[in-house]
Amino acid sequence: MDYTQNAKIAQVTEKSLVIGVDVGSGTHYARAFNWRGQELSKKAFSFGNDLGGYFAFTKWLDGYRQSMDAEKVMVGCEPTGHYWFNFARYVKQSGMTLVLVNPYHVKQTKELDDNSPTKNDRKDPKTIAKLVSEGRYTFPYMPEGIYAELRQAVSSRNRIVKELNGSTNRIQRWLQIYFPEFLKVYGKFSAESSLLVLETAPYPADILALGVEGVNQIWREHKLRAVGMKRAKTLVEAAQKSVGMDGGICARLDLQMLLEDFRRKQEHLKQITEVLEAETLKVPHVEKLLAIKGVGLITVAGFLAEVGDVGRFDSPKQIQKLAGLELKENSSGKHKGQSSISKRGRKNLRKILFQAALPLIRSNGEFREVYHYYTTRQKNPLKGSPTIIELELVVTCTATTGFPTEMAYLISSIDIPLLFAGRFEQTTTLA
């Protein structure tokens, strides 16, 4: 479908039935309108977020569809959390056209009719339907197949990483209270030798009771070769000078539970990462993205999870907009304010592109030259984040085509001088 504003307006014809739906966790509310925005329903229709409720919704709108001899039903709703997923799937499977309206637009326009900021189940469906009639909607992209798998895997991995960081912080807090010197011996407690000691002798008194030989015996029993008497001696010396508080049974039990949780989350992270890497390699032409020096498999997986099939985009600018990286101007009269990115897009995609740009500067010669150009050019040299943002735009250009060897041409297409003229062949033309 054509995503231009005029084309979206044109899709709402005299034969279109427009349904505005306010999605909730358990109950949805709907109102019916014709193509001109005239309401057909007398009051908001409520239905449950289940199959019986969906059938009731279909029966309700069929009455209006028959009365106006509608050829097309357009159902609009807000992408409210995860509550709209199942409803959206049902609408699409029923042969109706599902469209999404921006929650921010709903919030900004709901006062047009009554000049009141009131929010209720009758008002919101009307506002949603009005936005649909005006062509202020988008067609949802619901990833399928490998892209759906990637999105779920990346989401799971991000959640586990967040939980693992929380578990790490709690263990570090425990150590700072009862054995702060331990973190000086081990910069990170997550080493296997460190975990074994903490599981066996977490208190300084425990270490002193074992002595150098006893500590070393812990590692020998588990056949660890990277540590030995020298590390054991350092640990005993740290215990002798410890200023940590005396802990009892409860504190010891607390640490044991924290360590068990930490190990379990480590294993979960390992499992999901293995699955994620395997699924990412199934994506067509993914090797072209992985060929970009400085871009790792996890970064590529995160990027694909956010954008889905890159082939559905005609231009890098579409990915930039999806990420909320398009520039917004702040000017009035003679005043020309500083431009900034809109941030009206997928937050995680912006994060991934930012994280991708940093190693590219360090390890990729072409990107490093772009960075040098932006920071040293005579007119309006950039510093800090704006430079990184420009590199993010380059990343989207490269990712859209998947051919890193054409980077020079792509860079020139977003108003950057052709820095690498004659170095690469220009074989692709952007729409």
The single-letter code of the amino acid at 87 is: F
Check whether residue 255 and residue 296 sit in a common domain.
no
CATH of the domain at 250: 1.10.287.4070
* Residue-level pLDDT at 327: 67
The pLDDT of residue 370: 76
Residues 349-405 have pLDDT tens digits of 888 888 777 777 777 777 777 777 777 888 777 776 666 666 666 666 665 554 343
pLDDT at position 414 is 34
Q: Are residues 384 and 333 in the same domain?
A: yes
Number of domains the chain is built from: 3
DSSP conformation letters of 80-123: -TTTTHHHHHHHHHTTPEEEE--HHHHHHHTTTTTS-----TTH
115: left (phi over 0), alpha (psi -120 to 50) or beta: left
Is the domain of 123 the same as that of 153? no
Q: Phi/psi zone of residue 343: left (φ > 0), alpha (ψ -120 to 50 degrees), beta? A: left
Residues 233 and 290 in one domain: no
pLDDT tens sequence for the chain (431 residues): 446 778 888 889 999 999 999 999 899 999 999 988 899 988 899 999 999 999 999 999 999 999 999 999 999 999 988 889 999 999 999 999 999 998 888 888 877 776 677 666 678 899 999 999 999 999 988 888 999 999 999 999 999 999 999 999 999 999 999 999 999 998 889 999 999 999 999 999 999 999 999 999 999 998 887 778 888 999 999 999 999 999 999 999 999 999 999 999 999 999 999 999 999 999 988 887 787 777 889 988 998 999 888 888 877 777 878 888 776 666 666 666 666 777 778 888 888 888 777 777 777 777 777 777 777 888 777 776 666 666 666 666 665 554 343 333 333 333 333 332 323 333 232 22
How many whole angstroms separate alpha carbon 189 and alpha carbon 19? 57
Are 76 and 17 a contacting pair, CB within 8 Å? no
Q: Is residue 215 included in any domain, yes or no?
A: yes
Taking only the tens place, the pLDDT of each residue in 74-128 is: 999 999 888 899 999 999 999 999 999 988 888 888 777 766 776 666 788 999 9
Say how far apart CA 337 and CA 289 lie, in whole Å.
Answer: 37
Domain boundary among 277, 308, 342: 277
Q: Tell me the residue range of the domain where 162 lies.
A: 149-277
Give residue 257's pLDDT: 97
pLDDT of residue 419: 30
- Residue at 142 is within a domain: no
| Same domain for 291 and 407 | yes
Which of 212, 247, 277 is at the close of a domain? 277
Place of tokens 């331990």: 182
pLDDT at 157: 96
Interhelix angle 204-221/192-200, nearest 10 degrees: 130
CATH of the domain at 114: 3.30.420.40
16 and 120, same structural domain? yes
